[in-house]
Structure 1
Amino acid sequence: MFLYKEYQLDDCFRIFIVLNGEYLYTLEERVKELHESNRELDAIIESSYDGIYITDKFGNTLKTNSAIERITGIPKHYYLGKNISHLMKRGILEESVTLKVIEQKKTVSVVQKNFNQKETLMTGNPIFNEEGEIEKVVTNIRDLSDLNQVNKELVKVQQLNEQYKEELIRLKTFTGPDQDVILKSDKMIEIYNMVGRLANFDTTILILGDTGVGKDVLARHIYRISDRFNEGQLIKINCGAIPKELLESELFGYDGGAFSGANKTGKAGMFELAHKGMLFLDEVGELPLDLQVKLLRAIQEKEIMRVGGTKSKKIDVRLIAATNRDLKEMVKNGLFREDLYYRLNVVPVSVPSLKDRQDDILPLVHYFLEVYNKKYNVSKLLDKELHNFFYYYSWPGNVRELSNLLERMILTIPHDHLTVADLPLEYKREDEITTFADEEKSLKETVELAEKTALQKAMLKYRTTYEIAKQLKTSQASVVRKLQKYKL
């Protein structure tokens, strides 16, 4: 069977074709399939979020999609029929990935800013014919501004995750103030709140206060809640407890052979040990003037030199200093360098005496009672009258005296219920103790009792025989002999 088919070419010409009917039917079905495939392909290209740009082997634009408008800000119909070289001359493209593909005959990717100042990733892929020659170039254009924004957000999320991890580590090891930080009075709460705000700033803090008020506890608290807690150690040195001739090597370390008896390999000082952490200089007012100069240089230059060394070492140390002395008065008297004083006194924090924060006394009593009961495996209790004594006593030795007295009573009193009658002699009220004049004692006995009482009181306030001797205005050797004499 043959079919007659008429095709209108234009207004003047027509053609007439006679075809085998079965062949014509197959041909028309194939045309429909190709038309449907082209329609689907156009829909796929148009729906792509990335820009699609198709040229022939000469760089003439054949097809593009609407995404090109969003990425470049230029309507897609502007590109159709135009050669890539024309677009480059107009400044729409800085460089052409299409021309590179045609030249190199392989896939090429470039990153560049387009006419709309958006950073784009352009990847051109060659399409080869059966002879292996480039027939078309298909370029994928991806807007990197969105991707860059996502990357920025991802970096922020990663940084936030790191902060959360650090915070979790901190929370696992620190759930609030140290266990030995007992706060009840408004004065102390205000102080701890203030240092909490300063903890992560590397400014120097000068802690002022009488002996035994808890300056070292405050310094340890600052370290525990600071970022340096996870990076370095808290190193403490008591400037008044180390002989002056050894203090320099303890602070700054020494190189091998620096002096007779020195370690052959040298030794790191406190500054080096505190690198990335915190150095607590207790009793900083006891530093000799020559060491004050070296300390000032370490603070200003952030570097130290070991004793006997020739090279400086960089250090990253936060400094906390403490003293019970009036540094300003020492400056006036030429005993403390003025420039060092101002370096240390950036943020002064004055810790009040225990008698000036009475609300803290009973909480401290209960805390130390619990600590020593647990330590010595006992169950001591205090009666009401003894509680009252603790509350109203002036505590010249502050928290340290309170702690020492409780430990002493727990260890020396055999029964579990402690009363005022169990207090050591020097704590009893004047009307409850025998005065020296009431008893028929010799002058020698009276003097010895006075000496013993003075030593006992000093022991409650000071830790070392050096400090006791200084307070009692006598020699350290004399203090040691009398402590042995009275079996204290």
Structure 2
Amino acid sequence: MEKLKEKQTAAKIDVGVALLDREGFVVYTNDTIKRWLGKSNPQLIKAGLELLIPNHRFSKVFASGKPMDWQMELGGMHLQINAYPYPNCVEKSGIFLVACNTVPLKIMQERLSEMKAVADELDAIFQNSYDAIYITDANGITLKTNDAIERLTGIPKEYYIGKDLRYLEKRGIVQKLVSFEVMKQKKPVTVIQENSLGKVLLNTGSPVFNEQGEVIRVVTNVRDISELNRLREELSQLRKFHAGEDQVVVASKEMERVIDLACRVAATDTTVLLLGESGGGKEVVARMIHRNSRRYEKGSFIKVNCGAIPQELLESELFGYESGAFTGAKKEGKPGMFELAHEGTLFLDEIGEMPLHLQVKLLRVLQEQEFHRVGGVKPIRVNVRIIAATNRDLKKMVAEGSFREDLYYRLYVVPIEIPPLRKRKEDILPLIQFYLDKFNRKFQTAKSFTDETLAILQRYQWPGNIRELANLIERLLVITPSHEIRPDHLPKMTGVYVPDNEPAVQEHAQNGLPPVSASEITYSLEKIEEWGGLQEAVEQLERQLLAAAYERYGSSYEVAKALKISQSTAIRKAYKYGIRIKSGEV
């Protein structure tokens, strides 16, 4: 309370007023002057006023007959002083003195600057909110909205300002909003609606009251839950299996069969051979088998990439070595991966890259569960489950003599082939959503893909399989500046996959579009080159069509009806291309 009083005192503006006759005697002073000078006797006040208006300034005012002003410091105050000559009732001149303490004004100025900075910050937060925020007064007139409203409705925010919600509803720009229901109930109200763009919007309106308990504002938060609903539907059909830190996302029948088989063999110690292209998820399936086995609680999951370790080092990595086994060896020796995987699972990735002389030693371990370290003479027994993986054709390698036949059959106990991503398209969108959520959490973002982008990604061939998909999504979340990832954000190497037996012309025919002749394609390509690219050509054609439609029909309602688009789209496109709309519509 004391600090509040101090602030109120500091903000009080003091103005001292005094009247002096021609001889400098005091005719009148207000209480402020007396308080400043700490005097009440006229003679003493006169002496004090000489501090405010020295003799040389006093004389100068009379000599010039014009007002004068100056500044000075007095007792911690910064005074702005103005002196005005005046005639009195006995036709003798005098001086009217006004002194203002500007310190409170400076304090007020600083506070106004601070308040402006806070207001600017709040406005920036308001405008950059991912959800749309819509503010109306008690009469339903739009006072303010943010940039997100355009993303959700397709119409610039400037169009809404000053508009009555009843007018916007009548024009079909918006559906019935919650504002009037909030005013009626005097409490928050939430409704779910679908707009003309096909977006499902969650609208939550909240009242703002004055001191009399009357609703003076309604603040509505508008959130797009279309993607959430779509994801919920997909998740209802989606199966996820844990594999350590990773998850196996399954939506296709092909992957369901893979996972079902992997779950069955997990309960045994049977050797498993995982087959499939690189990046298809073989390691994730291997980890899932280990996680669902009895060995998960007893031992570790150890991975060895046989193709990534130089051949001269692979043997010592797998089987370890004894002290002094070779130059540079540790004095105490070193255990190998088989020893580290004791009671657990050893995952031999890229088994097809293992040299022949090590294949013999591996076969012995598989058959007898024992081996010798490099440079050692004492056999070491281990209890290890082997899961091998390869993207190569081992049977062909056996025929060529680069892979041992006996080892092939020893590994080929339970083969599990993981189909490439292009052959299980039902998994693409769930995987995209899975990695989108994962990297949004990692980078603390809330980005999403447009439907057009998802359509392109679903048609893509994905030669790098899941690894390529995950890397692409991570890259897009890092480099894309906007909340929505559009087709133009995709890298150039991302193309649309069309199977060999489904040419592009056939695909168009299936969509009800007439096939395009070679001459038409050639002409179109020449025009596109003139226009500066496909996107520019499409926009130019769209601009011409809209301009012609507005010229013929006049109103956005008729244009929308003729072009078979929503009225909000017709207005948004007109704003985009600078097409004049009737004044009654905006």
| Residue number in structure 1 paired with 2:365 | 298
What pairs with 1:28-39 in structure 2 (closer than 5 Å)?
Answer: none
| Residue number in structure 2 paired with 1:272 | 339
Give distance in 2, aligned partners of 1:312 and 1:205.
Answer: 25
Which residue of 484, 504, 507 corresponds with 1:417? 484
Give distance in 2, aligned partners of 1:199 and 1:413.
Answer: 41
Give distance in 2, aligned partners of 1:184 and 1:177.
Answer: 15
Which residue of 323, 328, 341 corresponds with 2:408? 341
Letter in 2 for 1:181: V
What pairs with 1:129-278 in structure 2 (closer than 5 Å)?
Answer: 177-178=242-243, 180-278=247-345
Q: 2:441 matched to 1:374?
A: yes
Give distance in 2, aligned partners of 1:414 and 1:336.
Answer: 50
3-state secondary structure, aligned to 2:403: coil
Which residue of 376, 385, 402 corresponds with 1:309? 376
Cα-to-partner distance string for 1:198-249 (whole Å, 9 max, x where unaligned): 1121110000000111000000000000000011001000000011111000
Instruction: Note if contact 2:461-2:496 (Cα within 8 Å) is conserved in structure 1.
Output: no
Number of equivalenced pairs:
261
What pairs with 1:113-124 in structure 2 (closer than 5 Å)?
Answer: none
Cα-to-partner distance string for 1:332-382 (whole Å, 9 max, x where unaligned): 000000000000001110000001111100000000001111111111110
3-state secondary structure, aligned to 1:385: helix
3-state secondary structure, aligned to 2:332: coil
Shift in alpha-carbon separation, 1:299–1:225, aligned structure 2, 3 A:
same
| Residue number in structure 2 paired with 1:159 | none
Give distance in 1, aligned partners of 2:429 and 2:269.
Answer: 35
Give distance in 2, aligned partners of 1:243 and 1:331.
Answer: 22
Give distance in 1, aligned partners of 2:496 and 2:358.
Answer: 46
Give distance in 1, aligned partners of 2:450 and 2:361.
Answer: 53
| Residue number in structure 1 paired with 2:461 | 394
Provide TM-score, normalisation by structure 1: 0.52
Instruction: Note if contact 2:457-2:496 (Cα within 8 Å) is conserved in structure 1.
Output: no
3-state secondary structure, aligned to 2:346: strand
Give distance in 2, aligned partners of 1:325 and 1:197.
Answer: 25
Q: 2:400 matched to 1:319?
A: no
| Residue number in structure 1 paired with 2:432 | 365
Structure ID, larger Rg: 1
Give distance in 2, aligned partners of 1:428 and 1:347.
Answer: 36
Give distance in 2, aligned partners of 1:342 and 1:242.
Answer: 24
Shift in alpha-carbon separation, 1:429–1:364, aligned structure 2, 3 A:
closer
| Residue number in structure 2 paired with 1:88 | none
1:177 positional shift? 3.0
Instruction: Note if contact 2:307-2:354 (Cα within 8 Å) is conserved in structure 1.
Output: yes
CA RMSD of aligned residues (A): 2.1
Give distance in 2, aligned partners of 1:210 and 1:218.
Answer: 13
Give distance in 2, aligned partners of 1:428 and 1:269.
Answer: 44
Give distance in 1, aligned partners of 2:261 and 2:414.
Answer: 10
Shift in alpha-carbon separation, 1:180–1:326, aligned structure 2, 3 A:
same
Instruction: Note if contact 2:342-2:384 (Cα within 8 Å) is conserved in structure 1.
Output: yes
The unaligned stretches of length 5 or more in structure 1 are 1-174, 440-488
| Residue number in structure 2 paired with 1:33 | none
Give distance in 1, aligned partners of 2:301 and 2:399.
Answer: 32
3-state secondary structure, aligned to 1:177: strand
Shift in alpha-carbon separation, 1:377–1:355, aligned structure 2, 3 A:
same
The unaligned stretches of length 5 or more in structure 2 are 1-239, 498-520, 531-586
**Identity across matched positions, percent:** 52
1:176 positional shift? 5.1
Give distance in 2, aligned partners of 1:295 and 1:214.
Answer: 24
